Structure 1
Amino acid sequence: MSSFLGVGNLVLDTILTTSHFPAENEEMRAEARQLQPGGNAANTLYVLKQLGHECALASAIAVDDSGRKLLKAVSDRGIDTSLCQKRLKGATPTSYVLVNKENGSRTIVHYRDLAELDFEHFARQEIERFDWLHFEGRNVDNLKGMLNIARTFCPNTPISLELEKPRDGIEALFGVPNLIIIARHYANDTGLADAEAAIEHVRTFAPQATLVCTWGSDGAWFASPGNPIRHQPAIPVPRVVDTLGAGDTFNAGLLHKLAEGAPIDEAVRFAAELAARKIRQQGFDNLLAPLADDQPLTHVDNVTNARATIARVPGKEFSVILIKDGEGKIRAWVNNCPHQHVPLNEAYKVDVNPFTQTMKCSVHDAWFKVDDGECVEGPCYGDHLTPFPIRIDEDGNIYADTSESD
């Protein structure tokens, strides 16, 4: 595998998951809150690390309490932070992110009171030891010198540039990278109508570079030097959970395959597949693991009102109970008795009384209603089983609905 240096922003993301996007002046309660490292380069490196590469980050970091925690969190992800520049003045950059559970969209409000990574600090680093240098297209005044040093001292090392937003003077730097990744935001804010127009625009400044332009759900367009523009459609997903960092994940997949020596079309295809995998889950952890909702729990034909069907949830440490209620609706409950937190079938099978529509824990002889999970007899009287979200496809396969359970 390869060693990557990512140069860019490092921020503290405060992510709030909401049931819907709030209207102006609306008061609402978030369903979940998560604090995690953010920033394009940091996210891309974390995905590259999961793909088996050695990764290092060069970024400015505040020495406040949030900065120390942020640096530790990045290090805990296996990313080398020794090239980061610690700033005595300023505060840790923070992004406040609203993730809309209805459609997986993310809205970001960013606050920054910290100077960027400076050229002098970067120039002192031993960048020759890396196999790939990846830069965020920001901090243009310092970026110019960084790119020039990179090309001078690492003439055979691939250099990639992520172009997220227009920046004054950034087009003058396009002649250095081997690869430029163009975001839709850059195209829109530059007045370019579509991805092909964006590639043609950047190509006038960077005839030497392979160009890739991402366009969300429409896919990505790409072209190698001197070749026509081609299109990679987005990979369909059954349900969008979280789009935050989808572009960073795409970039990681692209760099991964190119570093392996894959042709550009294969690399873009893999990047699209990896981005599709990411938007089906919250966050970046365990991106290469199979999703629980990729494998069926069972089929509707196996579920009746006279027998409890026990199914192991893929990727989880527990099983679920599937059973039909009196109206024929399939109910799903986490297989965990609330009395002493043991599976209901720990000692024996789960007995079912189809006449009273109840089922019994084999350990404590507690009886639970099938329709709402309430204990109506036994040591946990009045307590409830935990419902488990499921979805049923058109063929009758029953899956864990991870968009709800996560």
Structure 2
Amino acid sequence: MAKKKVLCIGLVCLDIINVVDKYPEEDTDSRCLSQRWQRGGNASNSCTVLALLGSPCAFMGSLAPGPVAENLPDVSAEDFSRLDLSQYQWIHWEGRNAEEQIKMIEQVREHNSQQQEDDRITISVEIEKTREPLYQLFPCGDLVFMSKDVAVHFGFHSAAAALRGLYSRVRKGAVLICAWAEKGADALGPDGVLVHSDAFPPETLVDTLGAGDTFNAAVISSLSGGGSLQEALTFGCQIAGKKCGIHGYDGILQ
């Protein structure tokens, strides 16, 4: 029997990356060494990394023909209702159009209520942007990824403090995770035990674009494969660190 898939829902976009020899100082000109166009967007990036890690996965979002697409609509609850949910073991939402996403998550909860425990879908959400409407997603996920930006927005100065301060917002039994760049990542679950992993910085910092998406994907890959929270957090930091030392994603397993 084929393994059920991880579905990522959110944005796909075009990233245009200019490569320079050092990080540019403010108000200075820098010569561009090279430029590349690559597919981007949080959910799309996470799906790319999941595939590289060997996790069966799928992406749901708006696509358009041509090299550049503008004003694509976000996935609606009506779009989502057409899915056969039985093919997924995990669904991850990149926080965007929160009201519609809550309706989608309610559809999954309804589906889960009719399933045996082993067939229930795990729900994860990412709250990355400091936008008030997104904060209504906190109580929606079995696993909630909160960005450093959001933690700082709420007045916290470390991942551990943010998790303890905001854990009351998540649903009973959920796990709240916060990555804090070079300081690694922390997680807090229903047992009240804070789990931490140090960062694994590369020898040379090359490309941090999508590092958070990579971290999220690696955590999901590990947990969906039966890993513990500590194992998943450490794996997430390892793969995100590896990604920061290469251009794009293709070398993360070397």
TM > 0.5 fold call: yes
Please give the alpha-carbon distance, in whole angstroms, between the structure 1 residues aligned to 2:164 and 2:80: 32
Q: Larger helix proportion, structure 1 or 2?
A: 2
Q: Which consecutive unaligned segments of at least 5 residues does structure 2 have?
A: 114-119
Contact 2:243/2:251, CA 8 A, preserved across alignment: no
Residue of structure 1 equivalent to 2:85: 127
Q: Larger strand proportion, structure 1 or 2?
A: 1
Residue of structure 1 equivalent to 2:220: 255
- Superposed counterparts of 1:184-203, under 5 Å: 184-203=148-167
Shift of 1:171: 3.2
- Superposed counterparts of 1:1-400, under 5 Å: 1-23=3-25, 26-63=28-65, 65-66=66-67, 91-92=69-70, 113-155=71-113, 156-206=120-170, 207-289=172-254
Rate the CA distance shift 1:22–1:273 in 2: closer, same or farther, 3 A: closer
CA displacement, residues 356-396 of structure 1 (integer Å, 9 cap, x when unaligned)? xxxxxxxxxxxxxxxxxxxxxxxxxxxxxxxxxxxxxxxxx
Tell me the amino acid that sits aligned with residue 173 of structure 1.
L
Shift of 1:173: 3.0
Please give the alpha-carbon distance, in whole angstroms, between the structure 2 residues aligned to 1:201 and 1:147: 25
CA displacement, residues 281-314 of structure 1 (integer Å, 9 cap, x when unaligned)? 111013212xxxxxxxxxxxxxxxxxxxxxxxxx
3-state SS of paired residue (1:66):
coil
Residue of structure 2 equivalent to 1:390: none
Contact 1:221/1:232, CA 8 A, preserved across alignment: yes
Contact 1:5/1:134, CA 8 A, preserved across alignment: yes
Aligned-CA RMSD value: 1.9
3-state SS of paired residue (1:169):
helix
Contact 2:219/2:235, CA 8 A, preserved across alignment: yes
Contact 2:7/2:59, CA 8 A, preserved across alignment: yes
Q: Which consecutive unaligned segments of at least 5 residues does structure 1 have?
A: 68-90, 93-112, 290-406
Rate the CA distance shift 1:66–1:237 in 2: closer, same or farther, 3 A: closer
Tell me the amino acid that sits aligned with residue 192 of structure 1.
F
The higher-RCO structure (CA 8 Å, 6+ apart) is 2
Taking only the aligned residue pairs, the percentage that are identical comes to 33
TM-score by length of 2: 0.89
TM-score by length of 1: 0.57
CA displacement, residues 19-61 of structure 1 (integer Å, 9 cap, x when unaligned)? 2344555443311111111011111111110111221111123
Shift of 1:216: 0.3
Shift of 1:226: 2.7
Please give the alpha-carbon distance, in whole angstroms, between the structure 2 residues aligned to 1:219 and 1:24: 27
Tell me the amino acid that sits aligned with residue 149 of structure 2.
H
